[in-house]
């Protein structure tokens, strides 16, 4: 074998090795690519969990009070569109703030006392406590509003997380990419060889 043949074999080997190394490098870069998106998904999941917990705790007080108001309204049995749990409770809270519950219990509300006792209020103090504890304050409304904003933000985070999950390259796609790159580089190297030599 003469020196020209040896050089040709070495050159062919080097070209093949370069094509193989570039193909393997591309394959390995997909792991870096996936690592980036997996990290992003993990961070978004942590933010989403934190936002959900905060949103739940912010809306908790409002929801509990709303349930109690609805329970009382349901027991009251008022079914006109003008009377809602909010309106009824607003009136009751105004009476409570004016320190009139005791006065009304002992005077104007005589017809309501049997009903109130039947649903668990044995005195004006227990009824006043129920009204005061279950009044929806401006702070409760503000917390609910912040909870709704966090919930909307969480929906956007979930969409972003789903987009990131679609970006992850599967193992099958990594293999396909490796063979595409390898074949493309091999064909490119084949044509370059013949144009240069």
Structure tokens given for 74: 């349901």
DSSP designation for 123: S
Half-sphere exposure (Cβ direction) of 126: Cα atoms closer than 13 Å: 8
Strand extents, DSSP E, 32-191: none
The pLDDT of residue 85: 85
72 contact partners, CB below 8 Å, separation of at least 6 = 85, 88, 89, 119, 130, 134
Alpha carbon distance 64, 57 (integer Å): 11
Residues across the chain: 197
* Predicted structure pTM score: 0.69
In this prediction, residue 176 carries a pLDDT of: 93
What's the token pair of residue 130? 């129920």
Q: How far apart are CA 170 and CA 185, in angstroms?
A: 22
For position 79, what pLDDT does the model report?
A: 58
Q: Which of 31, 33, 27 is nearest to 185 (CA)?
A: 27
Model pLDDT, residue 4: 80
Residue of 104, 78, 80 lying closest to 92 (CA atoms): 104
Exposed / middle / buried, residue 127 (Cβ in 10 Å: 0-12, 13-18, 19+): buried
Whole-number pLDDT of residue 107: 81
Which structure tokens are listed for 156?
């956007």
Structure tokens at 30: 């997909």
Q: What is the pLDDT along the chain (197 residues), one digit of tens a residue?
A: 688 888 878 888 888 888 899 999 999 999 999 999 999 999 999 999 999 999 999 999 999 999 999 999 888 877 566 688 888 888 888 888 887 888 888 887 888 888 888 898 988 899 999 999 999 999 999 999 999 999 999 999 999 999 999 999 999 999 999 999 999 988 888 887 766 65
d(CA 87, CA 76): 13
- What does the pLDDT read at residue 87? 87
């Amino acid at each position: 074998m003469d020196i020209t043949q040896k050089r040709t074999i070495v050159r062919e080997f080097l070209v093949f090795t370069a094509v193989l190394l570039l193909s393997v490098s591309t394959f390995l870069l997909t792991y870096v690519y996936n690592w980036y998106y997996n990290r992003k998904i993990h961070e978004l999941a942590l933010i989403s969990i934190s936002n959900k917990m905060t949103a739940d705790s912010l809306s908790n007080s409002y929801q509990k009070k709303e349930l109690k108001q609805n329970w009382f309204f349901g027991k009251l049995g008022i079914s006109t569109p003008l009377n809602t749990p909010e309106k009824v409770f607003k009136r009751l809270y105004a009476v409570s703030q004016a320190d009139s519950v005791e006065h009304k219990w002992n005077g104007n509300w005589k017809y309501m006392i049997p009903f109130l006792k039947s649903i668990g209020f044995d005195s004006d103090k227990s009824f006043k406590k129920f009204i005061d504890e279950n009044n929806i304050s401006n702070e409760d409304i503000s917390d609910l509003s912040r909870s709704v904003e966090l919930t909307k933000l969480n929906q956007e985070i979930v969409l972003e997380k789903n987009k990131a999950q679609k970006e992850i390259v599967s193992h099958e796609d990594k293999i396909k990419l490796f063979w595409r790159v390898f074949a493309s580089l091999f064909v490119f190297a084949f044509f370059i060889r013949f144009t240069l030599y």
